[in-house]
Amino acid sequence: MDDGVRRLGEREAMDALGKSGPSVTGVEGQSVGAGEQEQEKNVAEVCYVPVTAAMVEAERELEQVLLGKIAEGTWFVVPDDVSRAISIQFGISPTQIKVCRFNANDFLVKLASVDLANKVASKGVVSSRCFKIAVKKWTRFEESDVSPLKWKVEIKVDGIPAHGWQENNVRLSVSRYCWIQKIDMAKFLDGDMSSVRVTAWTADMSKIPSMCYLGISEPQNGGSLRVVEDVISAGFVKLVRQHPIKLTVREIQYPRWIGREGDSGDGPGSDSDSAPSGAYDYNFPSEHGSLEAEYDHDSGREPAAWK
């Protein structure tokens, strides 16, 4: 063609939305996706975060947002190009279109209403002289997987420094290893700052370490803490004081459990804290024992035992 760009059909354009990257030949001739190849080299930890009100609101607003992926043509496409192409093709005013980059070669396209978003999505492709973009409604299911967390555990956290005793610091200390259901701050509100208990779910109990570190920014001159960070001059390094945190883990077992080797009863979908009777013994953290879950709240207050 005169612009030197090979044109793809609409079917090929839509297929581009489902591609995760080029494949390479792996062990014994097996085809390995680029993403899988990278994961084999560097397996990352999962940082588990709770659903927030902001996330809920964002998902509602994203109902009028499309995901656009360049399926053909030059990779040098800017948001204004996408906005202009949508305006011309669908007769929508530019003031009702907002486009921003999303990942390397993708765009998020926000229309002024859900009806306009559906109108563009129904076509499936936004065309221009030099490029085509496959579009579809945004969903949170894009490029993600559901991972079952089979083990409900209680984690005893020891070692949070006195000046760092905030609930969020407890969460940051363990959220790399498990999804947190509850943080029990009741003992601290009663003047006991020896430890804190966390109820959580994890995919693998063995991946929760017995020790981690909480790093808190340290002033460059060693003086008192301050919120405003120091300006780090050339030739100097950033200082962080690391506080060792001990994590003692025990499984919360259920009398019955759906989904584990054909058993029936409470499982990961249940919020029940029922457990076999028996005192909790932290002296044997490596064994899969049982405990009595005595708390049923997640305090947002901060302890002030020293005041």
Across the range 282-306, mean pLDDT stands at 39
**Would the pTM count as exceeding 0.75?**
no
Tell me the two tokens of residue 231. Answer: 């300006």
pLDDT band at 29 (very low <50, low <70, confident <90, very high): very low
107, 100 contact by CB (below 8 A): yes
Of the two residues 149 and 103, the one the predictor is more confident about is 149
34 vs 22, 24, 274, CA distance in Å? 6, 7, 44
Reported as half-sphere exposure (CB side, CA atoms, 13 A), residue 5 has a value of 14
Question: In the chain, what percentage of residues exceed pLDDT 90?
Answer: 43
Positive or negative, the Cα torsion across 222, 223, 229, 233?
negative
Instruction: Return the pLDDT at 252.
Output: 92
Mean pLDDT of the chain: 75
Task: Give me the amino acid identity at 244.
Answer: P
Instruction: Return the pLDDT at 286.
Output: 34
Q: State pLDDT tens for residues 176-216.
A: 999 999 998 777 667 778 889 999 999 999 999 999 999 99
